[in-house]
Amino acid sequence: MLAEYKRTTNIGVGLGLIGSIIGRVLMESGSEGLGVLIALVGLGVFIWGCSQYAKAKGHSPLWGALGILSLIGLLVLFFLPDRHKEAAA
């Protein structure tokens, strides 16, 4: 895994999950419009983080589209082979 993508992966996946959770809580508490907006932004950030993870492992950033599947997509990315094992830091 390339070290320069590790930070952006963590930021994208972490903020994406937090945004999705906050959006879901807002939707259930009655603020549906704001909740949907925050959840969609969270999903977009999560997908971006997943694409950074795919790039870090030496794959096309299009693999980041698996982020639509949420944690299942992240799990699939986790099991992709790392093409940059020699660059692991």
- C-alpha–C-alpha distance, residues 57 and 36, integer Å: 31
Question: In the Cβ-directed half-sphere of 38, how many Cα atoms lie within 13 Å?
Answer: 18
Torsion of CA 42, 47, 50, 54, to 10 degrees: -160
Q: Across residues 48-68, what is the average pLDDT?
A: 95
What would the pLDDT profile of 76-88 be if each residue is shown by its tens digit?
Answer: 999 999 987 775 5
What's the pLDDT band for 54 if we cut at 50, 70, 90? very high
The whole-model pTM stands at 0.90
Distance CA 60, CA 72 (A): 18
Tell me the chain's radius of gyration from C-alpha atoms. 14
